[in-house]
Amino acid sequence: MTRVRRSILFMPGDSLRKITKAATQLTADAIVMDLEDGVALDRKEEARQIVTEACLSLDFGHREKLIRINPTNTSWWMDDITQTLDAKPDGYVIPKVESGPDLKKICDFLSEAEHTRGVEPHSIHLIAIIETARGVLLLPEIAGATKRLSALAFGSEDLAGDIGAIRTPEGWEVFYARSAVVTAAAAYRLDAIDTIYPNFQDPEGLKKEALFARQMGYRGKMAIHPGQIKPINQVFFPSPEEIKYAQELLEIHEKHQAEGTGAFAYKGKMVDMPMIRSAQKIIEQVTSLQSRSIHHQD
């Protein structure tokens, strides 16, 4: 079944109360327990303990259970993995990934830790956040670095700071990088997750930006506040018209395949395999959500 990643909510790793609410009450598709920016330097150790407790004691239901570790250029990332691995998260989110070796270093360490701890080999996947100029330039190397990688996420705020850009509502200063991330994700068959929207009190602005990201090809968006989940989920779910069109397209495609014909015309457009694959993805997403009994307006 296709994993649905419309909304990816970040929660501070040192707050069991907030993690509990996210895991049991909120409708985000993924919960990221943060050990990086969301935790003060003197609370890293406590946060690891809280995250481990949360993973072991809470029922996350359909929600993907993720942990964001500290960057590989810090002294904390190995302890982040070592002290949380027994909790068996679904995956680790890696910030500020700048090269293939960044990911390979984590993969080698993780594989050894899995073996030592008796955790199923390669059962834990990775999501890489691209948020520096170097990371953007080395995207092909990063995207192809490991089979553990399941998604690329775009971090616009750190990128803007790295390149010295001035952030604007239109976002043209980071558009090149945003396009590069979604293109690399598609090329390597990875999910593409869009950047956060900092103003959590602006739902209309969030919807507008999320819609633009979906039109670019992104499958979901990171969230920093519970109030952002519903607008993001709504935008990244196909409309009834899209679902109906996809169903019709696949039915007609199947009929033409049975008759031995390839491309065909439908409603004034020539239909070929890229359009069929797009329709298939829509139906797969809908089917996956229906299996979780989640309405698209959640």
Catalytic residue numbers? Answer: 272
Please tell me the distance from the alpha carbon of residue 256 to that of residue 252, in angstroms, as a whole number.
6
Q: Can you list the pairs that 174-181 forms with residues at least 24 positions away whose Cβ atoms lie under 8 Å?
A: 176/136, 177/130, 177/136, 178/154, 178/213, 178/216, 179/216, 180/136, 180/139, 181/130, 181/136, 181/139, 181/152, 181/153, 181/154
Please tell me the distance from the alpha carbon of residue 286 to that of residue 270, in angstroms, as a whole number.
25
Please tell me the distance from the alpha carbon of residue 132 to that of residue 146, in angstroms, as a whole number.
20
Please tell me the distance from the alpha carbon of residue 174 to that of residue 198, in angstroms, as a whole number.
15
Nearest to 151 by CA among 188, 200, 121, 101: 188
Q: What is the DSSP secondary structure assignment for residue 266, as one 8-state letter?
A: E
DSSP 12-59: ETT-HHHHHHHHHT---SEEEEESSTTS-GGGHHHHHHHHHHHHHH--
Please tell me the distance from the alpha carbon of residue 159 to that of residue 131, in angstroms, as a whole number.
5
